[in-house]
Amino acid sequence: METTLDLPVVADQHAFNLERWEEICADPVLAALDHRIETDRFGHPIMLPLAGFDHGARQAAIGLHLRRLLKGGKVVTECPVSTADGVKGVDVVWISSARLAEARRNNVLVRAPEICVEVVSPGNTRDEIETKKRLYFAAGADEVWLCDKTGRMTFFSQSTPAQPRESSPLCPEFPALLGE
């Protein structure tokens, strides 16, 4: 016997993510927490610990390099991007002014920036990072970069997402290893 419940259907994941994100950002209890917050595809908040000092230092170094090397866009850290699996906070992004104008909905991007960078934390698993990489590409990223705990950069592009590249097609001057 089949039971049919009268439950809403999520027909537009971005619209759902935006509505849920607005609710979460307006919640004074969640706003008072010392945690990063993302959501899953069902709109449930996922609380993550604040990034450590080294993680933040790598984010800053990546952002400074991107700002110096690329013009006509913005560098943002902890950037909320709507994906098929909820709103994710990308560690560092570079987004062109043109894409920003069409992708921004209030405080969330509904299309991923051209470059999305994940700084790998000690608690990250290979599956988690691969999932984020797939989500960012599916959301429209042209490139996804990974930065490991030593500052070594790995570059991936939309045309060959499983194949690491020696350098970034969009920012070929970006160093393969971050200095101290």
CA quadruple 119, 123, 125, 128: dihedral positive or negative? negative
pTM above 0.95, yes or no: no
The 10s digit of each residue's pLDDT in 7-39 is 666 678 999 999 999 999 899 998 888 788 999
How far is the C-alpha of 72 from the C-alpha of 93, rounded, in Å?
13
- Residue 1 pLDDT more than 60? no
CATH top class, domain 51-165: alpha beta
Reading the block at residue 172, the tokens are 């070929």
Strand locations in the chain (E): 35-39, 45-49, 73-83, 86-96, 104-105, 108-109, 115-119, 143-147, 153-157, 160-165
Each residue's pLDDT tens digit, 45-80: 998 888 889 999 999 999 999 999 999 999 999 999
* Rounded Cα gap, residues 126 and 157, in angstroms: 18
Task: Give me the phi and psi of 151, to 5 degrees please.
Answer: 90, 5
Cα angle at 114 between 108 and 116, to 5 degrees?
70
Summarised one tens digit per residue, pLDDT across range 92-150 is 999 999 999 999 998 999 999 999 999 998 888 999 999 999 999 999 999 999 999 99
Q: Name the pLDDT band for 2 (thresholds 50, 70, 90).
A: low
